[in-house]
Amino acid sequence: MINHDRSDRKVILVTGASSGIGKACAVHLAQADYHVYGTTRKSPDRVAKDLPSSQLNMIQMDVRDDLSVHRGIDSIIKEAGRLDVVVNNAGFGITGPIENTSIDEAKDQFETNFFGLLRVCNTVLPIMRNQGSGYIINISSIGGLIGLPFQGLYSASKFAVEGLTEALYKEVRSFGIRVVLIEPGDFFTAFTANRKKTARAETDPAYKNRFEQTLRIIESDEKNGASPEKVARLLVKIIRYSDPRLRYRVGYLPQKIAVTLKKFLPQKLFDQIIMQHYMPG
């Protein structure tokens, strides 16, 4: 680990910093001279070797494991003495028809995307309360605002993140803690390759063709998605605001507009537009 002796720099933790959005954020923040810790479940030294910034401290953490989360955050406090910003980014997607998604598969999705985030929040909140300051930035998704076909459990996990974060914003404001949601549209990352399919996703004849067609569209949207650098640039702006908004949407304009349309269009019409995109024909 790198030792930083300047005490005026914000200390930042980014979960899931080995790849994609988390990596872009962690590297960008480190290059902007923040004191950054990034997490991976892999060997931190090996991951660090592939990073463009030697100013980034990689630590091992699995957000699905209480002990791992406590150990990781303890090690930061021991070394840096404080924690100013936490970016809850670690996550993955699961795809398949809801009808044949098992409860274990659903729990697997929530264990990382929702309970993992909650675990990290609950561990850092007492630290931030004692400091009288801190930023918790939760990476949600436009899929946390619009229920996406064949990504039902992923959407559900992000809707849950939205609800939790909206409540937390109110609960901890008086302690000087700022809580923010970043809601990305499609971004080109390893998310597509890391997506898990439910066991019966491709075998149920009732859904097979439709599922495969929709998945091709989802993957193509992501492969043509924006660069994660865009989220990193937004994040740097947010942590410089003393009183950021609860929600920031980021991504291609049509995807951001879709969320606005959901508010104003009749629900039936809006759902038709979404279905036409993901399930044409």
97 vs 228 by CB, closer to ligand NAP = 228
d(CA 75, CA 58): 11
User: Any idea how long the chain is?
Assistant: 281
- Binds ligand NAP by CB under 6 A, chosen from 16, 44, 72, 149: 16
Closer to ligand NAP at the Cβ: 74 or 173? 74
CB contact at 8 A, 40 and 61: yes
Annotated catalytic residue 18: yes
Report, in Å, the least distance between residue 209 CB and ligand NAP. 24
Least spacing, CB of residue 122 vs ligand NAP, in Å: 15
Q: Which amino acid is at 103?
A: I
Tell me the window of 11-19, 25-33, 145-153, 164-172 that interacts with ligand NAP (CB under 6 A): 11-19
Residues 40-59 binding ligand NAP (CB under 6 A) are 40-42
Phi, psi at residue 248, to the nearest 5°? -135, 125
- Stretches 61-69, 100-108, 234-242, 269-277: which one binds ligand NAP (CB under 6 A)? 61-69
The number of residues that bind ligand NAP (CB under 6 A) is: 33
Nearer CB in complex with ligand NAP: 1/190:
190
Taking CB under 6 A as the rule, does residue 63 contact ligand NAP?
yes
- Nearest CA to 21 out of 196, 216, 182, 195 is that of 182
In the bound state with ligand NAP, the residue whose beta carbon lies nearer, of 5 and 50, is: 50
Say which residue the tokens 């606005």 belong to: 260
Binders of ligand NAP among residues 242 to 271 (CB under 6 A) are none
* Contact stretch for ligand NAP (CB under 6 A) within 71-79, 99-107, 171-179, 186-194: 186-194
Catalytic-labelled residue, pool 10, 23, 158, 230: 158
Helix axes 20-31, 229-240, angle to 10 degrees: 50
> Is residue 189 close enough to count as binding ligand NAP by CB under 6 A?
yes
155 assigned to active site: no
Binding characters for ligand NAP, 91-110, by CB under 6 A (x = yes): xx------------------
Q: Catalytic site residue 241?
A: no
Is 140 an annotated catalytic residue?
yes
Task: Find the catalytic residue in 19, 23, 135, 140.
Answer: 140
Tell me which residue of 250, 220, 170, 233 sits closest to 31, measured CA to CA: 233
* Cα–Cα distance measured from residue 103 to residue 220, given in angstroms and rounded to the nearest whole number: 28
Residues that bind ligand NAP in the complex, under the rule CB under 6 A: 15-22, 39-42, 61-64, 89-92, 112, 116, 139, 141, 184, 186-187, 189-191, 194, 222, 225
Residues designated as active site: 18, 140, 154, 158
